Amino acid sequence: MGNKPENAIVLFNGKDLNGWHARNGGDAGWEVSDGVITVKKGTGDIVTDQKFTDFMLHLEWMEPDMPEATGQAKGNSGVYLQGRYEVQVLDSYGIEVPGMGDCGAIYNQHAPLVNACKPALEWQTYDMVFRGARVDDDGNVVDQARVTIMQNGQIIHNNVEMQGPTGGAMDENVGEPGPLLLQDHGNPIKYRNIWLVELPLKGSDKY
Ligand code: MG
Protein backbone atom coordinates (compact mmCIF):
# COMPACT_ATOMS: atom_id res chain seq x y z
CA MET A 1 0.00 0.00 0.00
CA GLY A 2 1.11 3.58 -0.38
CA ASN A 3 2.43 4.03 -3.92
CA LYS A 4 -0.07 5.48 -6.34
CA PRO A 5 -0.87 2.96 -9.13
CA GLU A 6 -1.56 4.09 -12.67
CA ASN A 7 -5.26 3.32 -12.38
CA ALA A 8 -5.71 5.47 -9.28
CA ILE A 9 -8.49 8.04 -9.22
CA VAL A 10 -6.96 11.29 -7.99
CA LEU A 11 -9.57 12.86 -5.73
CA PHE A 12 -7.68 16.07 -5.01
CA ASN A 13 -5.91 17.71 -7.95
CA GLY A 14 -3.75 19.92 -5.71
CA LYS A 15 -5.19 23.14 -7.15
CA ASP A 16 -8.88 23.42 -6.32
CA LEU A 17 -11.86 21.47 -5.05
CA ASN A 18 -13.08 20.40 -8.46
CA GLY A 19 -14.78 17.04 -7.90
CA TRP A 20 -15.96 17.96 -4.40
CA HIS A 21 -19.03 19.66 -3.01
CA ALA A 22 -20.28 20.72 0.40
CA ARG A 23 -22.33 18.17 2.31
CA ASN A 24 -25.30 20.52 2.12
CA GLY A 25 -25.01 20.50 -1.68
CA GLY A 26 -23.32 23.86 -2.30
CA ASP A 27 -19.73 24.56 -3.24
CA ALA A 28 -16.99 23.04 -1.10
CA GLY A 29 -15.75 25.92 1.07
CA TRP A 30 -12.41 24.69 2.37
CA GLU A 31 -9.17 26.48 1.52
CA VAL A 32 -6.69 25.21 -1.04
CA SER A 33 -3.11 26.39 -1.40
CA ASP A 34 0.22 24.82 -2.32
CA GLY A 35 -1.33 21.41 -2.92
CA VAL A 36 -3.01 21.32 0.48
CA ILE A 37 -6.68 21.49 1.54
CA THR A 38 -7.37 23.08 4.93
CA VAL A 39 -10.63 22.67 6.81
CA LYS A 40 -12.39 26.03 6.93
CA LYS A 41 -14.38 26.15 10.14
CA GLY A 42 -18.11 26.44 9.70
CA THR A 43 -18.22 25.68 5.98
CA GLY A 44 -19.23 22.09 6.65
CA ASP A 45 -18.07 18.68 5.55
CA ILE A 46 -16.84 18.20 2.00
CA VAL A 47 -17.86 15.25 -0.17
CA THR A 48 -16.58 13.78 -3.43
CA ASP A 49 -18.91 13.89 -6.40
CA GLN A 50 -17.98 10.31 -7.20
CA LYS A 51 -19.27 7.33 -5.23
CA PHE A 52 -17.50 4.08 -4.53
CA THR A 53 -18.09 0.55 -3.26
CA ASP A 54 -14.81 -1.34 -2.69
CA PHE A 55 -11.51 0.51 -2.84
CA MET A 56 -8.02 1.16 -1.61
CA LEU A 57 -7.63 4.73 -0.35
CA HIS A 58 -4.56 6.79 0.37
CA LEU A 59 -4.53 10.22 1.97
CA GLU A 60 -2.24 12.39 4.05
CA TRP A 61 -3.13 14.82 6.79
CA MET A 62 -1.55 17.11 9.35
CA GLU A 63 -2.79 18.07 12.79
CA PRO A 64 -2.71 21.73 13.86
CA ASP A 65 -0.74 22.56 17.01
CA MET A 66 -3.40 22.92 19.74
CA PRO A 67 -1.47 22.39 22.99
CA GLU A 68 -4.26 23.71 25.22
CA ALA A 69 -6.96 21.52 23.69
CA THR A 70 -7.83 18.05 24.93
CA GLY A 71 -9.91 15.04 23.90
CA GLN A 72 -12.35 15.49 21.03
CA ALA A 73 -11.48 19.22 20.80
CA LYS A 74 -7.84 18.56 19.88
CA GLY A 75 -7.56 18.65 16.10
CA ASN A 76 -10.75 16.81 15.24
CA SER A 77 -11.72 15.89 11.70
CA GLY A 78 -12.58 12.58 10.11
CA VAL A 79 -12.52 10.48 6.97
CA TYR A 80 -15.94 8.98 6.25
CA LEU A 81 -15.77 5.95 3.97
CA GLN A 82 -18.82 5.88 1.68
CA GLY A 83 -19.93 8.90 3.69
CA ARG A 84 -20.97 6.39 6.39
CA TYR A 85 -18.06 5.10 8.45
CA GLU A 86 -15.83 7.60 10.22
CA VAL A 87 -12.15 6.89 10.59
CA GLN A 88 -11.26 9.40 13.28
CA VAL A 89 -8.73 12.15 12.66
CA LEU A 90 -7.56 13.68 15.96
CA ASP A 91 -4.37 14.66 17.74
CA SER A 92 -3.93 11.54 19.87
CA TYR A 93 -0.14 11.62 19.86
CA GLY A 94 1.33 10.01 22.94
CA ILE A 95 -1.85 8.43 24.29
CA GLU A 96 -0.74 5.07 25.61
CA VAL A 97 -3.93 3.11 25.03
CA PRO A 98 -6.06 4.81 22.36
CA GLY A 99 -9.80 4.31 22.63
CA MET A 100 -12.81 4.21 20.35
CA GLY A 101 -12.85 8.01 19.96
CA ASP A 102 -9.13 8.52 19.41
CA CYS A 103 -7.26 8.99 16.17
CA GLY A 104 -7.50 5.96 13.93
CA ALA A 105 -10.63 4.63 15.61
CA ILE A 106 -13.64 3.52 13.62
CA TYR A 107 -15.62 6.05 15.57
CA ASN A 108 -17.19 4.50 18.66
CA GLN A 109 -16.89 0.98 17.18
CA HIS A 110 -13.24 -0.09 17.04
CA ALA A 111 -10.20 1.41 18.74
CA PRO A 112 -6.96 1.27 16.76
CA LEU A 113 -4.74 -1.73 17.59
CA VAL A 114 -1.81 0.54 18.39
CA ASN A 115 -1.14 4.27 18.62
CA ALA A 116 0.61 5.07 15.34
CA CYS A 117 0.15 8.85 15.61
CA LYS A 118 2.82 11.40 14.84
CA PRO A 119 2.88 14.76 16.64
CA ALA A 120 1.01 17.83 15.39
CA LEU A 121 2.57 19.63 12.42
CA GLU A 122 3.95 16.41 10.90
CA TRP A 123 2.35 14.83 7.85
CA GLN A 124 0.66 11.49 8.51
CA THR A 125 -0.69 8.85 6.16
CA TYR A 126 -3.71 6.61 6.04
CA ASP A 127 -3.81 3.67 3.65
CA MET A 128 -7.05 1.74 3.77
CA VAL A 129 -8.58 -1.26 2.05
CA PHE A 130 -12.35 -1.02 2.28
CA ARG A 131 -15.02 -3.54 1.37
CA GLY A 132 -18.55 -2.19 1.29
CA ALA A 133 -21.46 -3.98 2.93
CA ARG A 134 -23.28 -6.61 0.88
CA VAL A 135 -27.07 -6.75 0.96
CA ASP A 136 -29.61 -9.26 -0.33
CA ASP A 137 -32.47 -8.46 -2.72
CA ASP A 138 -34.56 -7.17 0.18
CA GLY A 139 -31.79 -4.85 1.33
CA ASN A 140 -30.86 -6.94 4.37
CA VAL A 141 -27.18 -6.85 5.22
CA VAL A 142 -25.54 -10.22 4.57
CA ASP A 143 -21.94 -8.97 5.02
CA GLN A 144 -21.10 -5.83 6.97
CA ALA A 145 -18.54 -3.41 5.57
CA ARG A 146 -14.94 -4.19 6.48
CA VAL A 147 -11.73 -2.22 6.56
CA THR A 148 -8.01 -2.72 7.02
CA ILE A 149 -6.08 0.45 7.84
CA MET A 150 -2.42 1.35 7.93
CA GLN A 151 -1.47 4.62 9.65
CA ASN A 152 2.06 5.86 9.06
CA GLY A 153 3.02 2.36 7.97
CA GLN A 154 1.57 0.52 10.98
CA ILE A 155 -1.52 -1.68 10.82
CA ILE A 156 -4.14 -0.16 13.12
CA HIS A 157 -7.15 -2.21 11.91
CA ASN A 158 -6.94 -5.78 10.69
CA ASN A 159 -10.04 -6.42 8.57
CA VAL A 160 -12.51 -5.19 11.18
CA GLU A 161 -16.25 -5.45 10.63
CA MET A 162 -18.38 -2.35 10.90
CA GLN A 163 -21.45 -2.51 13.12
CA GLY A 164 -23.28 -0.21 10.72
CA PRO A 165 -22.77 3.49 9.95
CA THR A 166 -21.05 5.59 12.62
CA GLY A 167 -22.47 8.79 14.13
CA GLY A 168 -22.79 11.60 11.62
CA ALA A 169 -23.17 9.29 8.62
CA MET A 170 -24.75 10.75 5.49
CA ASP A 171 -27.22 7.86 5.19
CA GLU A 172 -27.89 4.27 6.16
CA ASN A 173 -28.09 2.86 2.64
CA VAL A 174 -25.12 0.59 3.20
CA GLY A 175 -25.71 -1.53 0.10
CA GLU A 176 -25.24 1.46 -2.19
CA PRO A 177 -22.00 3.13 -3.29
CA GLY A 178 -21.08 6.24 -1.33
CA PRO A 179 -18.65 9.17 -1.58
CA LEU A 180 -15.58 10.02 0.43
CA LEU A 181 -16.42 12.68 3.04
CA LEU A 182 -14.00 14.79 5.07
CA GLN A 183 -15.34 16.22 8.31
CA ASP A 184 -15.41 19.87 9.39
CA HIS A 185 -15.23 19.62 13.16
CA GLY A 186 -14.10 23.24 13.50
CA ASN A 187 -10.34 22.62 13.54
CA PRO A 188 -7.90 23.53 10.70
CA ILE A 189 -6.71 20.03 9.72
CA LYS A 190 -4.73 19.90 6.48
CA TYR A 191 -5.15 17.20 3.81
CA ARG A 192 -3.16 16.38 0.69
CA ASN A 193 -2.44 13.62 -1.82
CA ILE A 194 -5.86 11.95 -1.78
CA TRP A 195 -6.41 9.11 -4.23
CA LEU A 196 -8.10 5.76 -4.41
CA VAL A 197 -8.21 2.66 -6.55
CA GLU A 198 -11.57 1.06 -7.11
CA LEU A 199 -11.58 -2.69 -6.58
CA PRO A 200 -13.68 -5.31 -8.42
CA LEU A 201 -16.46 -6.63 -6.20
CA LYS A 202 -15.36 -10.23 -6.70
CA GLY A 203 -13.14 -12.48 -8.75
CA SER A 204 -14.44 -14.85 -11.41
CA ASP A 205 -16.12 -18.20 -10.74
CA LYS A 206 -13.61 -19.91 -13.01
CA TYR A 207 -11.25 -22.52 -11.62
MG1 MG B 1 -14.02 13.34 13.86
Tens digit of each residue's pLDDT, the chain (207 residues): 667 899 999 999 999 999 999 999 999 999 999 999 999 999 999 999 999 999 999 999 999 999 999 999 999 999 999 999 999 999 999 999 999 999 999 999 999 999 999 999 999 999 999 999 999 999 999 999 999 999 999 999 999 999 999 999 999 999 999 999 999 999 999 999 999 999 999 999 999
One-letter identity of residue 72: Q
Q: Is the pTM higher than 0.85?
A: yes
Do the Cβ atoms of 186 and 42 come closer than 8 Å? yes
pLDDT of residue 154: 98
Do the Cβ atoms of 146 and 49 come closer than 8 Å? no
Gap from CA of 83 to ligand 1 centroid (Å) = 13
pLDDT of residue 101: 98
Do the Cβ atoms of 9 and 197 come closer than 8 Å? yes
Gap from CA of 89 to ligand 1 centroid (Å) = 6
How many CA atoms, within 13 angstroms, populate the side-chain half-sphere of residue 9? Answer: 16
pLDDT of residue 1: 60
pLDDT of residue 52: 98
Gap from CA of 190 to ligand 1 centroid (Å) = 14
What the chain holds in terms of domains, given with CATH numbers, is 9-198 (2.60.120.560)
Gap from CA of 106 to ligand 1 centroid (Å) = 10
Number of residues that this document lists for the chain: 207
